[in-house]
Structure 1
Amino acid sequence: MRLLRSTDLALRVLMRLAVAGDSNPTTRDVAADMEVPYTHAAKVVAELQHLGLVAARRGRGGGLAITDAGREASVGHVVRSFEGDGDVVDCEGATPCPLSPACRLRGALRRAQEAFYASLDPMTVGDMVTAPTGPLLLGITKAP
């Protein structure tokens, strides 16, 4: 299974904010730290804010902060939120699969997808930034 770039970036942004401490980095800071285009980071941050996982304040003294809900969010929940509920394969697209009436593959792939998500459910964003990851994230953060 391959994650969307936005899903990967969302997880990295949450991890970065989880180790930010009292500093409130801006979206530009986070984009620079993660070495991604600002526009991509801004879209992901907006979705994370919509989900209630990130708080953003504008103006002087503003910036981004992970919320308590964001720190306690299940990684599986975050991945599901960004990936959507779609099937791994599109059997009903513009050219429907002729095997659909008797296919076992679609169900097997759906079960595998759910097992993937279920394996991520017990892990929280806070769990992801325990040592050695948290100190490494702090090490790659650009100094103000």
Structure 2
Amino acid sequence: MSMFQGLSAFPITPADASGRLDTAALARLLKHIEESGADSIGLLGSTGAYAFLTREERRRAVETAMGTVGGKIPVMVGVGAIRTSDAVDLARDAKAAGADGLLLAPVSYTPLFDDEVFEHFAAVADAGQLPLCIYNNPGTTKFT
């Protein structure tokens, strides 16, 4: 089954008491999702609080996911960022860690035009060289 079909679980990103990424808790959570029969995992989506994580924390989350469930269940990784260059870097990190696909919303503080969103998606897709799921979340992004 394609990662873009069926039930995709979008987990939280666990943190320790200091607010840092808890990779052991993340691994347990992802294993539970995989064993529960989900068709794919959407890592670092809105419920994963991606916007509050550093690039390094996001890289470690993806590496944890791929080391735990890689090859057992497709993992698409949220690479959203306000700056296209940051999203490109995140897409490359996801690809290097072995992600199966990318998840991207048009994130911006100011309203975006269609051509700006298209160019953002195109640049990230080109850099990541993975299937790209466009994350349609107008309640958050204010883009339709």
TM-score by length of 1: 0.26
Query: Quick check: which one's helix share is greater?
Result: 1
Query: Quick check: which one's strand share is greater?
Result: 2
TM-score by length of 2: 0.26
Higher relative contact order (CA 8 A, sep 6+): 1
User: Which structure would you say has the larger Rg?
Assistant: 1
